[in-house]
A = this chain, B = another copy of it.
């Protein structure tokens, strides 16, 4: 791998393809916020606004302004999204809806804690970019809400009878690993340190199962495996994404052991998740090999591959692991050959098992301005450090 050349490839793609696409196609100049439902060419096909994706796009453009280049149009794009979120994204108490109409009327109640997480990320970066104290306050109050909901994230919308089969889910501690670094400039050091330590412990000592060599998505509150659909499900992309959050924390805390372990887990999850027949990483698997509940289990998703690429690149850069480098090359090839749209801007998100395009959209309910630009940025910056 010619690291220097490939770093430029990622940078160019970010600057010349992805960022212009979202700047030009997604901003709602009439009502504020962003359209995320964009077809193959970037035309809007639905105007509903999903709070995950509103927060993520505001985060991305503020982050890009803070860390990549101080371009005023990036800041403006971030701030207008933040203003829409501030006005319409929550119920007044910083409980964040799942979705709102184009005009900002609430469509789906605040049942999903990740709407809160992406709002926190957005306002943390917006504060850094503008110094506007109001943004800091929104980030802090939302983060408090997240912590208070940790034990029952869905609250009144939880349909599970927890007394019968209580389970802890991987997603929240995973996101908190990343989120705590995103907002450490806003919170007391003890809060951040405590949150980080707790999340690292849960992920590396509980959700990671040494007896399997794998990370599972749900465990019992006692930290044990559960032999149920939820307890058997693996989401390789999810686990691998978490590993680069852990590597970042390892760098930050100067904990080489964490970096080594995260690299090993990345490789094990890739071995498990790779489709030897058609290439690419499965979306869901059952750890016992039983039929998974998710009908989309064999599909190849953009974020799974982009996040895996980051983890293998960071794993190589931080440990020199040749296996990581080989996987990074394999993932680079698969990703560029299958997800990039060579005829229109931005990248595809959803392929079938065979690697053919399943949905031609460039954005939708779950795909927005996030994994592709963040992934290109992370790959570019990591490749620049590689030798």
Whether B295 contacts A228 by the Cβ 8 Å rule is: no
Given contacts A45-B291, A105-B161, A296-B296, 9 further A-B contacts (CB under 8 A): A45-B290, A48-B229, A106-B161, A106-B164, A109-B161, A111-B159, A157-B159, A295-B350, A352-B352
Whether B295 contacts A229 by the Cβ 8 Å rule is: no
A150 contacts B by Cβ under 8 Å? no
Within 8 A of B (CB), among A32-87: 37, 39, 45-46, 48
Can you list 30 contacts pairing A with B, beta carbon distance less than 8 Å? Answer: A37-B290, A45-B288, A45-B291, A46-B228, A48-B228, A97-B161, A98-B159, A101-B164, A105-B161, A105-B164, A106-B164, A107-B165, A108-B159, A108-B161, A109-B159, A109-B160, A111-B159, A156-B156, A157-B157, A291-B359, A291-B360, A291-B361, A291-B364, A293-B364, A295-B295, A295-B296, A295-B299, A295-B359, A298-B358, A352-B352
List of B residues within 8 angstroms of A360 by Cβ: 291
* A308 vs chain B, min Cβ distance (A): 19
List of B residues within 8 angstroms of A353 by Cβ: 352
List of B residues within 8 angstroms of A128 by Cβ: none
Cα A48 to Cα B295 in complex, Å, equals 18
Question: Closest chain B residue to A359 by CB distance?
Answer: B291
A365 contacts B by Cβ under 8 Å? yes
* A374 vs chain B, min Cβ distance (A): 22
List of B residues within 8 angstroms of A364 by Cβ: 291, 293
What is the size, in residues, of chain A's interface with B at 8 Å between Cβ atoms? 41
Question: Closest chain B residue to A110 by CB distance?
Answer: B159
Which has the most chain B C-beta neighbours within 10 Å: A101, A159, A298, A352?
Answer: A159
Chain A binding surface SS class: loop
Whether A108 contacts B160 by the Cβ 8 Å rule is: yes
Cα A368 to Cα B109 in complex, Å, equals 33
Question: Closest chain B residue to A158 by CB distance?
Answer: B109
Contact with B along A330-371 (1 / 0, CB 8 A): 000000000000000000001011000011110011000000
Within 8 A of B (CB), among A85-132: 97-98, 101, 105-109, 111
Question: Closest chain B residue to A46 by CB distance?
Answer: B229
List of B residues within 8 angstroms of A228 by Cβ: 46, 48
Which has the most chain B C-beta neighbours within 10 Å: A39, A48, A111, A229?
Answer: A229
List of B residues within 8 angstroms of A156 by Cβ: 156
List of B residues within 8 angstroms of A161 by Cβ: 97, 105-109
Given A48-B229, A352-B353, A358-B295, A165-B101 contact (CB < 8 Å): yes
Cα A48 to Cα B299 in complex, Å, equals 26
Whether A291 contacts B101 by the Cβ 8 Å rule is: no
